[in-house]
Amino acid sequence: MTNNAFSRRGLLKTSALAAAASLLPSLELHAEAPLKPPSPATELPVRLGIASYTFRKFPDADKLIAFLKQLKTPLVNLKDMHLPMTPLDQVAAQAAKYRAAGLTLTAAGTITFNKDDDADMKPKFEYLKAAGIPIAVCAPTHEVLPRLEKFAKEYNVKMAIHNHGPEDKNFPSPYDVLKAVKNMDQRMGLCMDIGHATRAGADIVAAARDAGPRLFDIHAKDLAERNAKESQVAVGEGILPIRELFETLIKTGYKGNVDLEYEINADDPMPGVVESFAYMRGVLAGMGYK
């Protein structure tokens, strides 16, 4: 990469962070006040949300709500440490608590489907039904897809199959997902993890375009090195083409979320999370969306 390329990226980052300054949340907690959409997350043409797995070391619901209020981020993909699958009769009440705080539960997961068996699969769909969540970010095997499709149709829930990079024996790349679901019901689709997709050799901008209506959700992160999982950094610090991705999502009319999934610094994620949202919001502000 040339020095000019580095300069252009540095200029973009500086401009994005400057543009985002007015959007940055106060770090002072106001736990008593629910989030009130519309918010920066829902006004922008790219819906910025967060995967609660980011806060996996903080399973308490009140703590998660406080974090999201700090971030002014009402759109959340809930992992089961924040919305446990059992006991089932408590799921609806817990989901209602998040909604009462002003959160929108856009997806659940990642949920593993590795048994081609109704007894294993049905309770997970009952969980989604009780929570009132319309999308399951999921990690199935190829063998379970027909049964998964059957339940997706029965419960009218979208299955967003998550690609997990070169280590994933089933769906390393978003294109592996698209190939598997191309002749299936329209509720079978993709959650593209842009970090894992990049490590699997995919062009994330092209993949977002090629997925079309099969793209249900995006998990966002950034990498300092294309092939190194351990090189994850705050969004904007790495090499992934975030602006180009956002441009493509806007052009294609993408209606899903871009959910930050910050997988590093689990004991103290907020500095990197704040930086990542500042960058993403700043990129959009730099494109004229405020």
pLDDT score for 2? 39
Task: From 33, 131, 120, 47, select the one nearest 82 (Cα to Cα).
Answer: 131
For the chain, the residue count is 290
Q: Is the Cα torsion angle 200, 158, 145, 126 positive or negative in sign?
A: positive
**3-state percent breakdown (helix, strand, coil) of the chain, nearest 5:** 45, 15, 35
Rg, C-alpha atoms of the chain: 18
What is the mean pLDDT of the segment spanning 169-179? 98
What is the model's pLDDT at position 14? 52
CA distance 204 to 208: 6
Cα separation of the two ends of the chain: 31
Q: Does domain 3-286 have CATH number 3.20.20.70?
A: no
**Segment 154-166 mean pLDDT:** 98
Confidence of residue 29 (pLDDT cuts 50, 70, 90): very low
120 in Cβ contact with 85 (< 8 Å): no
* pLDDT tens digit sequence for 57-90: 999 999 999 999 999 999 999 999 999 999 999 9
For residue 13, what pLDDT band results from cuts at 50, 70 and 90?
low
3-state secondary structure of 79: coil
Task: Tell me the domain boundaries of the chain.
Answer: 3-286
Taking residues 268-284, what's their average pLDDT?
A: 97
- 214-239 mean pLDDT: 97
CA angle 23, 279, 14 (to 5 degrees): 100
**Mean per-residue pLDDT for 229-256?**
97
The mean per-residue pLDDT over the stretch 37-54 comes to 79
Sign of the dihedral defined by the CA atoms of residues 75, 78, 81, 85, in that order: positive
Query: Element (H or E) spanning 32, and its range?
Result: none
pLDDT of 143 > 50? The answer is yes
Rounded Cα–Cα distance for residues 107 and 206 (Å):
24
Distances (CA, A) of 92 to 16, 84, 88, 133, 144: 39, 11, 8, 10, 27
Give residue 41's pLDDT: 54
User: Rounded CA gap, 184 and 59, in Å?
Assistant: 35
Q: Above pLDDT 90, what percent of the chain?
A: 84
Residue 114's pLDDT is: 96
Q: What is the pLDDT of residue 290?
A: 74
Query: In this structure, what DSSP letter does residue 34 have?
Result: P
Statement: residue 19 has pLDDT above 50: no
Residue holding tokens 């049964």? 147
Q: 231 exposed, middle or buried (CB, 10 Å; 0-12, 13-18, 19+)? A: middle
Provide the mean pLDDT of the chain.
90
pLDDT at 8 over 70: no
Degrees to nearest 5, angle at CA 78 with 209 and 242 = 30
Q: What is the dihedral of CA 182, 184, 189, 193, to 10 degrees?
A: -60
**Element of type H or E holding 245:** helix 242-252
Confidence of residue 251 (pLDDT cuts 50, 70, 90): very high
